[in-house]
Amino acid sequence: MPFKECSTVSLRAEFCRLAQQEGANRSALCRGYGISRQTGYKWLERHDQAGLAGLSDRSHRPHCSPGRTPAAMEEQVLELREEHPCWGGRKLKRALERAGVQAVPSASTISEILRRNGRLDGPRAGAKRDFVRFEHAAPNDLWQMDFKGHFALGEGRCHPLTVIDDHSRYALEIGACSDEQAGTVQRRLERLFARYGLPGRILSDNGPPWGTAGAERHTRLTVWLLDLEVGVVHGRPYHPQTQGKDERFHRTLKAEVIERRSFDGLTAAQAAFDAWREVYNTKRPHEAIDLDVPADRYRPSRRSMPSLIAPPDYEPAAQVRKADEHGRIRFKRRVIRCSRAFAGRTLALRATGADGIFDLCYRHHVLAQVDLRQNIVQPVNHHPEHLSTL
């Protein structure tokens, strides 16, 4: 019978002892033990060289592994992963290449290094995922803005305000705010506009301080943006996918910053946000932009924030009306309700190519269409996938 694992060494020793006896028929012994003559002479040779110890199985591992990642490279991978524990194989590979490291292994090899060292969990870890995205053609065509869910500090709570550029994914702002009031948002935006210039449009959520998709879709904050010739877009109610980039950014912010430490107050939280924003923009490869970093694709806007905002100046053909204290105007013996944020401001109705249909506008922004034939006022919802005309 062939050698079995349970008695391998003892059977080999017995075979060698019998085969070394004077006049032994080694061919017959090999047949009796169920091994080839080549195997039998191999064990006899090893027994002569090392005795009983030579009959143990030897490792089949090669003496050298030319395809194995060098230990120094594995150490660099693990050190970078230690510094950025949420980064996977693709991000780590690109970051090492950007740092000038030579002969960086493939992303899949890096993922295996992480898994072998207990740094990567789950069967889908490191696997490529398919996404369907819209992306604006140039920086500052559209900014996405929202509050990340608030969290507890040592004293009080932090309401992170995030603003990212749709095209480049550049994080323009991560603000540690004490509330979610319009004045707080406006002060933050004023600093951003002074630093980066004005975007074409801003996509925001529904509800205060942004407004809603209904009759009160504008607030004092969004009217201020319209005064700056910054278009305002609202996501569809109960459809957070519209702001998918900002939602995904919030998940990354939570995983890499908020969940990993605690903060005594807003000052400490802001310091952590500022430090991580630099990493996110300049060091962290972004898979949605071919593993570039956002800073590679972002450029400030050429539209600077004006020092003074001039009142609207409508063309003579426009029908100009001033909104009352409730945000209502009168046109063709009809009362048209606008958002209360327009109280005391002048709006214009511009004739369209269709009979009896007018565009209700504030400055050059179309707020709604008024159909006098059916007595309908239909708000105009600009989809964020459409590029800004600015």
Instruction: State the Cα–Cα distance between residues 52 and 43, nearest whole angstrom.
Output: 10
- Report pTM: 0.66
**What integer pLDDT is reported at residue 123 of this predicted model?**
43
Nearest to 347 by CA among 382, 309, 312: 312
| DSSP of 6-68 | GGHHHHHHHHHHHHTSTT--HHHHHHHHT--HHHHHHHHHHHHHHGGGGGSPPP-S-S--TTS
Report residue 113's pLDDT band, with 50, 70 and 90 as the boundaries: confident
**Length of the chain, please?**
390
- Burial tier of 128 (Cβ tally within 10 Å: 0-12, 13-18, 19+): exposed
Other C-beta atoms lying within 10 Å of the C-beta of residue 304: 12
Choice among 3-17, 86-100, 127-141, 268-282 with the minimum mean pLDDT: 127-141
Report, as an integer, the average pLDDT of 180-191: 95
Report residue 362's pLDDT band, with 50, 70 and 90 as the boundaries: very high
Choice among 22-26, 135-139, 305-309 with the minimum mean pLDDT: 135-139
What digits encode the pLDDT tens for the residues 227-259? Answer: 999 998 876 544 444 566 878 888 989 999 998
Tokens 């053909």: give the residue.
317
Nearest to 329 by CA among 363, 377, 364: 377
Other C-beta atoms lying within 10 Å of the C-beta of residue 48: 11
Evaluate whether 148 touches 169 at the Cβ level (below 8 Å): no
CATH of 142-297, one of 3.60.10.10, 3.30.420.10, 3.30.930.10, 3.40.50.300: 3.30.420.10
**What integer pLDDT is reported at residue 170 of this predicted model?**
94
Q: What CATH number belongs to 71-116?
A: 1.10.10
Tell me: pLDDT of 343 over 90. yes
**What integer pLDDT is reported at residue 162 of this predicted model?**
95
Report, as an integer, the average pLDDT of 14-27: 85
Instruction: State the Cα–Cα distance between residues 220 and 98, nearest whole angstrom.
Output: 45
Tell me: pLDDT of 60 over 70. no
Query: Domain coordinates of the chain in residue numbers?
Result: 5-55, 71-116, 142-297, 319-379
